[in-house]
Structure 1
Amino acid sequence: MIDLHLIKALHTAAGPRTLDVRLTLPPGEVLALSGPSGAGKTTLLRLLAGLSRPDGGFLQVEGQVWYSHERGQWLPPQRRPLGFVFQDYALFPNMTVRENLAFAAEGQPQARQIIDGLLELLELTELAPRRPAALSGGQQQRVALARALARRPRLLLLDEPLSALDLATRLRLQQALADIHREFKLTTVLISHDPAEIARLATRVVELDLGQVVRVGPPVPVAALGTTVGGRVVAVLPGGHLRVQLGGSATLVEVPAPTGPPYAPGDELALSLAVVPARRD
Structure 2
Amino acid sequence: MNTENTPALEIVDATLELGDGDSRVRALDAVSLTVRAGEFVAIVGPSGSGKSSLLAVAGALSNPDSGSVRVHGTDLSTLSKGASAKFRLENIGFVFQSGNLLPALTAADQLRLAGRLAGNRKVDAESVLDSVGMAHRAKNRPGHLSGGERQRVGIARALVNAPSLLLVDEPTAALDRARSHEVVQLLADQAREQNVAVVMVTHDHDVLEHCDRVLEMVDGSLGAVRTA
TM range (shorter): 0.7 to 0.9
Q: How far apart in 2 are the matches of 1:217 and 1:109?
A: 42
Q: Which residue of 1 aligns with 2:87?
A: 79
Q: Residues 191-206 of structure 1 correspond to what in structure 2 (within 5 A)?
A: 191-200=201-210, 202-206=211-215
Name the stretch that deviates more: 154-163 or 83-92: 83-92
TM-score w.r.t. length of structure 1? 0.66
The structural deviation recorded for 1:197 is 1.4
Q: Which residue of 2 aligns with 1:111?
A: 123
Q: Residues 98-247 of structure 1 correspond to what in structure 2 (within 5 A)?
A: 98-106=108-116, 108=120, 111-112=123-124, 115-200=125-210, 202-213=211-222, 215-218=223-226
- 1:28-53 CA distance string (max 9 Å, x none): 32221100111111121122112223
Q: 1:179 to 1:108 in 2, by over 3 A?
A: farther
Q: Residues 261-272 of structure 1 correspond to what in structure 2 (within 5 A)?
A: none
Contact 1:105–1:111 under 8 Å retained in 2: yes
Q: Report the secondary structure of 2:76's partner residue.
A: strand
- 1:94-128 CA distance string (max 9 Å, x none): 3221100112234559631xx22332343433432
Q: How far apart in 2 are the matches of 1:141 and 1:26?
A: 24
2:52 to 28, 42, 50: 42
The structural deviation recorded for 1:190 is 0.7
Q: How many residues are aligned here?
A: 211
Q: 1:61 to 1:46 in 2, by over 3 A?
A: same
Structure 1 residue 8 and structure 2 residue 16: aligned? yes
Q: How far apart in 1 are the matches of 2:131 and 2:180?
A: 13
The structural deviation recorded for 1:217 is 4.3
- 1:134-184 CA distance string (max 9 Å, x none): 434333222211100112110000112233233333333333322211111
Q: Report the secondary structure of 2:77's partner residue.
A: strand
Contact 1:122–1:173 under 8 Å retained in 2: no
AA at the equivalent of 1:4: I
When Rg is computed on C-alpha atoms for both structures, the one with the higher figure is 1
AA at the equivalent of 1:218: R
Structure holding more strand per residue = 1
Q: Report the secondary structure of 1:94's partner residue.
A: coil
Structure 1 gaps, min length 5:
222-281
Q: 1:55 to 1:40 in 2, by over 3 A?
A: same
Name the stretch that deviates more: 36-45 or 18-27: 18-27
The structural deviation recorded for 1:84 is 0.4
Q: 1:24 to 1:36 in 2, by over 3 A?
A: same
Q: Report the secondary structure of 1:67's partner residue.
A: helix
Structure holding more helix per residue = 2
TM-score w.r.t. length of structure 2? 0.79
Contact 2:100–2:154 under 8 Å retained in 1: yes
RMSD: 2.7
Identity score, percent: 36
